Amino acid sequence: MLIDFHTHCFPDKIYEKAIQKLQAASGNMEIYSDGSLSGLKNSMKENGVDISVVLNIATNAHQQKSVNDFAASINNGKDIFSFGSVFPGSDDVLDELERIKALGMKGVKFHPDYQGFEIDDPVMKPIYKKVSQLGLIAVFHAGFDYGFPPPYKAMPKAMARAASWIDSPVVAAHWGGINCGDDVLKYLCGGNLYFDLSFGYCMMPKIYAKRIIEKHGIEKLLFGTDNPWHNARLEMRLLTSLGLEKYEMDSITHQNAMKLLGINHPKNSLK
Ligand SMILES: [Zn+2]
């Protein structure tokens, strides 16, 4: 079984525009699906992915509710586990976190660069406290983001500080931080948080990938792609180049994610 812990898709009405905008900001990065839910599902089928975690991001206060309504509408607990999003500057952020929980979603995604906050700003503490109380999984974008100039708002040292304020599971995306191998090793490896391994192919040098896995521990790593920006076939190229044992691959590709998402029976997936 293969669980992809980091994917994106957009509502049918806006996916084309959303993808165009993101592509333009990133320097016309190639896409591996069209950004729609059906595009994601096709990509899953073609690349052997059984379950995708869809990460949604509210980039302003006004959008928050509709982003979460969309997230809830596609969250079926079978092949799609969709996470909610809150915009930290909005007045009703704590209520919206409760709504995300009540809608049955298992986590929230934060993207400090898109949402304009420093990950370890103490003003975030009440939000992180609420996330902890609700037991929501907190996924953070981590490291560089090609849609923005530096300085970046979720670098490893700051990530470690923020994670220490959250009692529920924390996931630092992209191997702990895009282009941050040394600082991931220094500040995050061995810590009490997960890394998703998305957007690693051709980005995470193999030598760092090996060191990070060795130092962080196999039980806190989650396979991911960042679809539509990468897909499972690409990420598997990196992963299978690392010479891991079968039990290590099983942990990364599905066992750790099953535990985290509370999936007890492989039959929950459509296989
Ligand atoms: Zn992403």
Question: Each residue of 43-64: pLDDT tens digit?
Answer: 999 999 999 999 999 999 999 9
Cα 228 to ligand 1 centre (Å): 9
Is residue 67 in some structural domain?
Answer: yes
Cα 57 to ligand 1 centre (Å): 9
Residue 251 has φ and ψ, to the nearest 5°, of -60, -50
Confidence check: pLDDT of 265 > 70: no
Rounded to whole angstroms, the Cα distance separating 203 from 175 reads 10
Confidence check: pLDDT of 269 > 90: no
Is residue 166 in some structural domain?
Answer: yes
Helix intervals (H) in the chain: 15-25, 37-47, 64-74, 93-102, 112-115, 125-134, 156-163, 181-183, 206-216, 232-239, 246-250, 256-261
**Cβ < 5 A residues, ion ligand 1:** 226
Cα 103 to ligand 1 centre (Å): 22
Domain at 26, CATH number: 3.20.20.140
- 58: tokens are 């509210």
Is residue 114 in some structural domain?
Answer: yes
Average pLDDT of the chain, as a whole number: 96
> What was the pLDDT predicted at 267?
53
Cα 7 to ligand 1 centre (Å): 6
Tell me which residue of 6, 20, 16 sits closest to 231, measured CA to CA.
Answer: 6
Cα 265 to ligand 1 centre (Å): 27
> What was the pLDDT predicted at 208?
98
Is residue 57 in some structural domain?
Answer: yes
Cα 261 to ligand 1 centre (Å): 18
Is residue 50 in some structural domain?
Answer: yes
Residue 113: strand, helix, or coil? helix
Confidence (pTM): 0.96
Q: For residue range 139-195, list pLDDT tens digits in order.
A: 999 999 988 999 999 999 999 999 999 999 999 999 999 999 999 999 999 999 999
264 pLDDT band, cuts 50/70/90, is confident
Q: CB-based contacts of 87: which residues, under 8 Å, 6+ apart?
A: 58, 59, 60, 61, 63, 64, 93, 115
> What was the pLDDT predicted at 266?
56
Tell me which residue of 226, 212, 236 sits closest to 174, measured CA to CA.
Answer: 226
Cα 141 to ligand 1 centre (Å): 7
The answer to whether 224 touches 5, Cβ cutoff 8 Å, is yes
Cα 61 to ligand 1 centre (Å): 20
Which residue spans within 150-225 are E strands per DSSP? 170-172, 194-196, 221-222
Is residue 271 in some structural domain?
Answer: no
Q: CB-based contacts of 164: which residues, under 8 Å, 6+ apart?
A: none
Is residue 270 in some structural domain?
Answer: no
Cα 95 to ligand 1 centre (Å): 25
Average pLDDT value for residue range 123-132:
98
Q: What domain count does the chain have?
A: 1
Rounded to whole angstroms, the Cα distance separating 29 from 57 reads 19
Q: CB-based contacts of 252: which residues, under 8 Å, 6+ apart?
A: 197, 218, 221, 222, 223, 239, 244
Q: For residue range 29-44, list pLDDT tens digits in order.
A: 999 999 999 999 999 9
242 pLDDT band, cuts 50/70/90, is very high
Structural domain boundaries enclosing 236: 3-265
Q: For residue range 66-97, list pLDDT tens digits in order.
A: 999 999 999 999 999 999 999 999 999 999 99
Average pLDDT value for residue range 108-134:
97
Average pLDDT value for residue range 17-30:
93
Q: For residue range 192-223, list pLDDT tens digits in order.
A: 999 999 999 999 999 999 999 999 999 999 99
Q: For residue range 244-255, list pLDDT tens digits in order.
A: 999 999 999 999
Determine how many CB atoms are found less than 10 A away from the CB of residue 167.
14
The order of strands in the sheet holding 221-222 is 107-110, 137-140, 170-172, 194-196, 221-222
Cα 37 to ligand 1 centre (Å): 15
